[in-house]
Structure 1
Amino acid sequence: MKIAPASLFHKWNAWMLLVLKPLGVWGVCALAIVDSSSIPMPIDAIVIGYVAADHGKFVIYAFMAALGSAIGSLVPYYVGRAGGELFLLKRVNRERYEKLRDRFEKQEFLAIMVPAMMPPPMPVKLFEFAAGVFEMKPVWFFSAIFIGKFFRFLLWAAITVFYGPTIVQTIGHAFHVHLGLILAGAGAIIIVIALFVTRKIFDRRSGTPLPIEDADRPA
């Protein structure tokens, strides 16, 4: 009798949860490492479950889940750093690759932190892989992932503490239904912050204007 791959996957997930759940906060960290590095796990639901059982440790659970996620994300990051450039160059020409890299480098921290804040089905591993390809500094990459994931898990934990796990399911359903609008809003926020950062790059103290400001000045 053949066993479907999906069935094996769910059995593996169940086994992992059974083994690591008794470890408490360290179990959350370990599950987050597995989720970010290789095997997808329902890490948001896991954090919510832990918090629902012990409200007093909701910050610790969020912190450990974010730490584990940041550690696990180093796997796709270093995979991209090791050979991702050749992978991309087989699919795009050198000019397109350089444009993608320049665009990423201008707002690399936000380009990693914002996707990390989003729950599934956001393809965060693709952004982590890209960060490695474009050689984002490991310390900034790790910080961006940690901050984004900590904000995400802390939000879920706080909602669970104040309103219970039932409302979390309602919010998750609404997120999936309106995913397009949420992504559009997040993109708009990234653009606004990127413009602000660009403004700061120009030396405002010495009175150096932005190119657009220079163009608007009367001759």
Structure 2
Amino acid sequence: MSLGWLGVLSIAVTAFLDAALVPISVQALLVGAALAYPQWAWMLVGVYALASAAGSCVGYSLGRYGLATPLLRRFPPEKVKQAQTQMRRYGPFIVALGGTTPLPFPLFTIAAGMFRVSLPLLLLAVSIGRGAKAVLFVFVSAHIGRPVLDQTVKHHSGLIIGVAVLVALVGTWLGWRSWQKKVASPLTGDGRLNDRRG
């Protein structure tokens, strides 16, 4: 039982980080945990969706309060421009859709903050989008790939969860180091931000 709850905690942490600033693949862990503990499948979907919603507040805050300028440089400029343009038109709908795609999710939440999407609507959109993605991965994979995945999880569940916890810890550390460097560097080092503000 303790191993199962450790898996739930690992999913919550990795889902939070993936939605916040550190891209981490949660799907393999989510599917593995659902196969090892099928009675927890719906709870795992809920944990994934709620942790993603909580993590999305990080990117949203960065965009809303103007702290995202250095962070946006980590993403391809064409994807940033596309996300910003679409956010003006569709708001929460594009966030919900973005939650189901393999694109870096913080890109959508940062843009939502920059263009003042309602926070309650954002949280609802994230929960719907990420929840739908979790349902797809958990239940489709359980029916299609169960024979292989079930054996893998039964024999290696401890290793899978251990690796997931390690990835979460390393991801947190790397994200913190990156954040410290971004905060330490002046936002107006190139002068462009000052020019835009007049």
TM-score class, shorter: 0.5 to 0.7
Check if 1:130 corresponds to 2:111: yes
Q: 1:124 to 1:22 in 2, by over 3 A?
A: same
Distance 1:62 1:107 in 2: 26
Give yes or no for contact 2:99–2:105 (8 Å, CA) kept in 1.
yes
Q: What are the superposed Cα offsets for residues 71-130 of structure 1, whole Å, 9 maximum, x if unpaired?
A: 11111110010106877xxxxxxxxxxxx9786344212111101111x2x122111110
> Which sections of structure 2, spanning at least 5 residues, go unmatched?
71-82, 150-198
Q: What is the match of residue 37 of structure 2?
A: 54
Determine the C-alpha separation between the residues in 2 that align with 1:49 and 1:27: 12
Alpha carbons of structure 1 residues 166 and 134: separation in structure 2 relative to 1, 3 Å:
farther
Describe the shift of the 1:124–1:167 C-alpha distance in structure 2 as closer, same or farther (beyond 3 A): farther
Q: CA deviation at 1:160?
A: 2.4
TM-score (norm 1): 0.55
Q: Structure 1 CA distance, aligned partners of 2:146 and 2:66?
A: 42
Note the C-alpha offset of 1:155: 0.8
**Aligned twin of 1:159:** 140
The question of whether the paired residues in 2 share the 8 Å contact of 1:52 and 1:164 is answered with: no
> 2:20 & 2:85 partners in 1: Cα distance?
27
Alignment deviations for residues 5-58 of structure 1 (CA, whole Å, 9 cap, x no partner): xxxxxxxxxxxxxxx975242332122112222333221111011112112211
Q: Distance in 1 between matches of 2:109 and 2:131?
A: 16
CA contact (8 A) 2:16 2:52 kept: yes
Q: Which residue of 2 aligns with 1:42?
A: 25
Root-mean-square deviation (CA, aligned residues, Å) is 3.0
Aligned length: 138
Q: Residue in 2 aligned with 1:71?
A: 54
Greater relative contact order (Cα < 8 A, sep 6+): 2
Q: Are the equivalent residues in 2 in contact too, given 1:113–1:147 (CA < 8 A)?
A: yes
CA contact (8 A) 1:84 1:129 kept: no
Question: Is this contact kept in 2: 1:66–1:149, CA < 8 A?
Answer: yes
Matches for 1:162-177 after TM superposition, within 5 Å: 162-164=143-145
CA distance in 2, matches of 1:86, 1:25: 34
Equivalent AA in structure 2 for residue 149 of structure 1: R
1:157 and 1:103, CA in 2 relative to 1: closer, same or farther beyond 3 A? closer
Q: Does 1:116 align with 2:61?
A: no
Between the aligned partners of 1:108 and 1:72, the Cα distance in structure 2 is: 18
CA–CA distance in 2 between the matches of 1:141 and 1:48?
26
Matched residues, percent identical?
Answer: 25
Unaligned runs of 5+ in 1: 1-19, 88-99, 169-219
- Taking the TM superposition and a 5 Å limit, the aligned residue runs for 1:10-49 are 22-49=5-32
Cα separation, 1, equivalents of 2:107 and 2:43: 28
AA aligned to 1:43 is: V
Aligned position for 1:210 = none
Aligned-partner SS, 1:123: coil
SS in 2 for 1:117: coil
